Structure 1
Amino acid sequence: MCVKVIILCATFGLVSGAGVLPDSVDAALGGTVMFTTSLAPTQTPFISISWSTGTKNIITSNAGGNFTGPEYEGRITLFISTGSLELRNVALSDTGQYRVNIIPAGAAAIVGSIILNVYEPVSNVRVTVSSSDLVEFNSSVTLSCSAAGASLTTFLWLNGSIEVTASDRGHLTDGGATLTITTVGRYDQGPFTCKVSNLVSSNISDPVQLSINYGPDGAILSISPLLDYYEEGSDVSLSCSADSRPAAQFKWLLNGELLSFTGAQIQMINIQTSQSGNYSCQAFNSKTLRYKTSQPASISVLRRITNIHVESSSNEPIEGTSVNITCDASGPIFTRKWLINEQELNPSENIVFYDQKRVLSFTVLKRKDSGKYVCEISNPISTQTTVYTLSVIYGPENVQISGPKEIQVDKTVKLTCFSDSVPAANYTWIKNGTVLTQSSEYIKSMAGSSDSGQYICRASNEITKKTSEAAHTVFVSAAQESLSAGAIAGITVALLVVVAGAAAGGFHVYKHQKDRRLSKNSLKEQHVYENPSTAHNFNTDEENVYENDLNAYDRHL
């Protein structure tokens, strides 16, 4: 039993005053501080607990009760299970060394001490700025931080939520209380705050925003509506923007020349072609005294295509000649096209274009070139077309006559003449060198034997001055009469009388007429065979002589 007591006594001897309290504790003015011992709570009451500072007794607690110093009444609380002490409403005068003396039951006294440091809490933190009107790249600024109770304090600067540290442009002096930014930029505008801390408290300033004038940068010109070309008389809006503080002032230029317009936006109403050109805007900052000019933007104003027309170099385009057809219009012309049968016309051996298709030239006109030619002129805002009808003049050619070759006496002769000709040919009918009529048709009613013969149709073109002919032979035969049986019987007796005498002569006359026609036809056929290109001109002196001889022979018979 004695051995156990010796061990216990030795144990208490080791802990008395050794690590019972920390070396020091910090407290804020007006706050609360706890002097906490390292003793575990015990169920056995201590015989005595005593706290003091300097010569002052703070509290003594023993079997006789608790005795509190007058100036600590209501400010302290003693925790009798551990011997810890709470001190409230701490004053600067509470700074100093505090001691505790604890006497456990049946053990050596426990003694400890602790230093109390009382600090005034940080308050009234504020930032002052050397200048609030700064110019980017030109100005420097100093921010100073101050606070009440700023003893043993530290300073932390924030730009927004980002900590500001020392750099090439940022310098911290006065223990961090002063921040200097050289050559400010637009992103140095803040907000800046200063956080001040000491051992017992911290506080942060109100944010400070720097006014940094910058720009103008990125001058941009916008056009609405944005088109490649604008029709004369339309409306166009131009606006200019730039990144600038303060807001930029704007001027406008056309082809580098200053306009009277000012402001960030201009409205051009009823724009004219004279207003075409390269527009640009110039931004100006009255604080930085800097200018920035936008990239130029082109505005092209066009008139619509009007008054399209076609002219020909000849009013009488004759086959084999050349002709130029010119297409023009009022307004700015970007493209010309020639079309026929809805297909674009391309250069060929016979077709040549001049002056950017302004002139369509036919080197040698052919009748197949006739047709309706469409000229199409356009610019980006309009298109107009016109039609020119080309009629190639030619002929007459291939003259032909239609009609009977043989009719009976007292019937009507109707002959029709036609030919290939543009314009339509004029027709003249000729018989035996005599002009019968000037028409495409020859009509003779009640034809007699004298109407037999060769008819010539002569076609002529008033423009080409050409003529061409064709011939057609008509034979008018005697009418066949119908007689009754009695008449035939009566006539038969009389005829028998004269038949014998006239037989030889009649046969001779018939043969002569037949031979006459055969000879004449043979003569014509021979002429046609030998002169096929002038077959229609079979009205020669030779035929006339032959005709006269036959007529004389007829009269003799």
Structure 2
Amino acid sequence: MRLLWEHNRLKSVFLAILFSFTFQGAHFNLVVSPSGTSVVNALAGSNVTLGVTISGATDPAVAWFKGKLSVGTWTINSIFPPDIATSYKDVLRIEKDGSLTFINVPLYFTSDYTVEMTKSGLEKASTTFTLKIFEIIQNLTLSTQPDLVKEGSNQFSLNYSMLQGVVEQQIWYFNDIELKNSLHYLMEEKGLVILKPKRSDTGRYAVSLRNPFSRVTAHIDVTVLYGPDEPIVEAHPPQPFYVVKDSLSLSCQAAGAPQPTSKWVYGGEVLSDTLEGTLNLTDLKISQGGVYTCTLLNAVTKEKREKSVTINVYERPLGSPVCSVLSVNNADLKYQCGWIGGTPHAQLSFPALKNTSSGAENFSLTVPASNDLNKKTFICIADHPVEQNKCNVTASSPLKFLPAMRTTVDTNGKIVVTIQCISDVSPQAVVSWSRGSETVTNGTTYQISNDTTQLKISGYNISNFTLQNYSCTCRNLLGSQRREIQLQGPSISDSSLFPNQDGTIITLTWEVPPMSVVTGFDIQMTGPDLLSTNGRTIHIKGSPNVYRTIQQKPGSARSADIFRLDPNLTYRFRIIPKARMTEGEPSVVHRIGSGDGLSGPAIAGIAAGIPCVLFLLLLLGGLIYLTAHCKKNKSHQTRYPVPRTIEKARTSQPDITPRNLLPAGLKSLPDYRLQQASSEKSVTPPTFVPPPPVRVATTV
């Protein structure tokens, strides 16, 4: 009974499953779709596959069409091979999944391809591919039609050609700007048309051809012919007048393509020395003034234009106006203004001095000297057709000044001190010299320059210069200035030392008071000897603790370099100013080196500490003596014989006691060695006294 029930249950399940499959099969649809994109680009000569995906049925019948032309059929998983159209057998292959493969696909296989799949009892399924076959674009060139383009013509066109290639897109450019169809530009299949060309259409045109496998650009430069336009005639530099011996250039330019040719005509003659419309005139003469005519011709358009320019040439006065003021009769001031040459002569005047007075080329006015004229500036106006110019002059009393002094030694070994007093004024000041209350005049000791601004004093001894005060006075009609001059012996006002980074080279610098008479300097040093270039010591005569001269410098020097110092040693330097054999006070001492030396307090401390150290040493010696004496007394205590067993054990064991054990001032151990005399063997040994504890120290 149970078995029958199980049989009926399984039968019900089977019928339910069968009914389910039957119901679902009634709603199955055959579906075919591209496995990738439906638009496929391929390069000619390559292999490409139009892949499909099938669902809803197994082993459907496949039919491929190129457009409406059947090119191959097959039933998937059929034992028979695909049936390919005869003219396509070398190219087409139907794959196991129904996809269509092209082998070495030719260029002309570009088309729409449709696959249809059928299955008994199911609706037909299909999908369409677009296959585009391309070639690499090669040898792209551009040309114009016509070859010469004139402004105002109807049109001209640009056409391209190529050796091979399939163009999917063409883009035209003008001066790198993309063009679009307009009233001026018209794009055709293989060209570009420019309507009613203008000169602004001159430039670089380019076409870019593209497909999925290549992109090629070609360009061509196009010139639209026109002109010449109205000529532009200019003179460089542009000015209403030109001066004799000046240079100028006349340029004649007009827009045109090709560039118009030009020529200059002057006085009915063609001038040959022109270049691209430019006429250069050098070393002008008065006779070169007049009318110059430029003629322009376009050789292609045959257009001709002319234009003239007038050149006026004058002779400019030489240089610039010069103003000055002089003393006249020790009472008057003469103001002068001059500007020589020129055609016509320049007109000169001092409006502030006298409004109505003027003159040509040279002009002067004399006025009485007065304090009202001191430091007052007057302007001379110079008027010429070519140029207006001016100069100014100021009369003033001498200004405050600083005397300058220089010291040398002449061939006779005399010291020569030159004092200069200059006050830059106008009119020029006269300088007078004095020593104390006496006027200085030319002689053996004193020499005054022709312009009176310099005084030379000669002598062997420095005292000839420093015993007296000198003075100089600068004087003109408007006032005077006096300066006292006190010469002083050789001295140094300031000095410094600058070492290099390694401490092997130093530079000494110093300053000298303005009126110090100095003919040279001695550079002196104390300390160890300097090193030579090979590292050896340079020996200098003298003790290292005494200053010795290592260099001599002239009176004009203000620095000295000293080489080859040992940075680990200490040196001291100073500078000695000299006036021939007379030495001045040395400069401050400059020290350099690794050691700082001992200060005064440190030396005093050492001196005070020496007696204390001697006292401590004496005390320590007494303690050592007492310790040694006590040790000696303890070493004379009675020694007792040592039992033989102990002696034997001592001698049989290795000596492991360190050799550097020190008693450290402790008592010695008693001697327990047995006595060898037989008479001593019967003697009762003395009572044993334990030795004191022994401390040992090991020195490591």
Q: TM-score range by the shorter chain?
A: 0.3 to 0.5
What TM-score do the two structures reach when normalised by structure 1? 0.44
Q: Which is greater in Rg?
A: 1
What TM-score do the two structures reach when normalised by structure 2? 0.36
Structure possessing the higher relative contact order (Cα contacts under 8 Å, 6 or more residues apart): 1
Structure number with the higher helix fraction is 1
